[in-house]
Amino acid sequence: MPELPEVETIVRDLNKKTVGWTIVDFWTDWKKSIKMPLAKFKREVIGEKIEKVKRRGKNILIFLSGDKVLLVHLKMTGHLLFKDKKASKKYFSERVNQYIRHIWTLKKEKEEVGLEFSDLRKFGKIRLIKKSDLETDPDLIKLGVEPLTKDFSVEFFWKLTRNKKKKNIKMLIMDQDLLAGVGNIYASEALFESGINPQREAGDLSKKEVIKLHGAIVDILKKAVKLRGTSDSDYRDLSGAPGKFQKVLKVYNREGEKCPGCKGKVERVKIGQRSTFWCKGCQR
């Protein structure tokens, strides 16, 4: 599933490419993704102009004219593709970009382009909400602190580990109600970077370890955004290109490979039904 860096990459690209364009048509072959009757959805979005795009957790928020916000959640295998006359055809023929389920046709002056939603597993979600309802929307109100904001301070994180002391530390990092946007890839990498065994309880961490883990989470997320996300599986950016962070992953999906920090090997363990990659020699 695309995590914070992947969604942030898409949002930044959408702001560069789609702001000022008007939605003139919408097509879908999978109505289940749209959480309202299709005819009503089309009436509501067609004719509206894209004003700006934001991210909240793993949600893409496309602000439209007319007091409307298009909420898109990519779920497991979804990604958006922007196709105009200038778009490179280099990546669009790749199989992972061929599972087009939805298309918004956008127009500016006389030019028309397509904003397409490729989604192999068909789990993606599309909702239309009012701007005035953003603060109370059920998909957004439950989300925790954004880890790349000042709200995610060392003191906040320290108090969180004390309040949730019996919770597994990896599951705490991945809990969207506590920390929005961090998933399996970046939780595994941050725990390795900070030398912390992912099987420990949050309350077992010392203040020094919490400070180190906090820094690792922020640094890794920033680096992943800079490298345009991780294309370990289905994720692609708006041009259909893969991210680059998978080239610098140290433990995630590296089971059996040599640990970059010692002579041991990367191991895999299930925590909360999710595969966790770690090194028992480096992580205590």
User: Whole-prediction pTM value?
Assistant: 0.96
Which residue pairs, CB below 8 angstroms and at least 24 apart, start in 90-94? 90/240, 90/241, 91/236, 91/239, 91/240, 91/241, 91/242, 92/240, 94/236, 94/240
Catalytic residues: 2-3, 58, 274
Q: Within 13 Å of residue 50, how many CA atoms lie on the same side as its CB?
A: 26
Per-10-residue mean pLDDT, the chain, length 284: 96 98 98 97 98 98 97 97 81 93 97 96 97 96 98 98 98 98 98 98 98 98 98 95 97 97 96 96 97
Domains by residue range for the chain, with CATH = 4-141 (3.20.190.10), 154-278 (1.10.8.50)
Backbone dihedral angles phi then psi of residue 240, each to the nearest 5 degrees: 90, 5
| Residue 123 to residue 65: CA distance in whole angstroms | 27
Quick one: DSSP state of residue 202? G
pLDDT of amino acid 241: 95
pLDDT of amino acid 88: 64
pLDDT of amino acid 89: 72
pLDDT of amino acid 99: 97
Candidates 127, 8, 104, 7; CA nearest to 48 is 104
> Of all helices (H) and strands (E), which one includes residue 282?
none
Q: State whether the Cα torsion 174-180-185-191 is positive or negative.
A: negative
| Residue 235 to residue 242: CA distance in whole angstroms | 7
CB 252 within 8 A of CB 189: yes
pLDDT of amino acid 111: 94
Candidates 82, 73, 81, 80; CA nearest to 123 is 73
State CA 25 to chain mean position distance.
Answer: 26
| Residue 66 to residue 242: CA distance in whole angstroms | 34
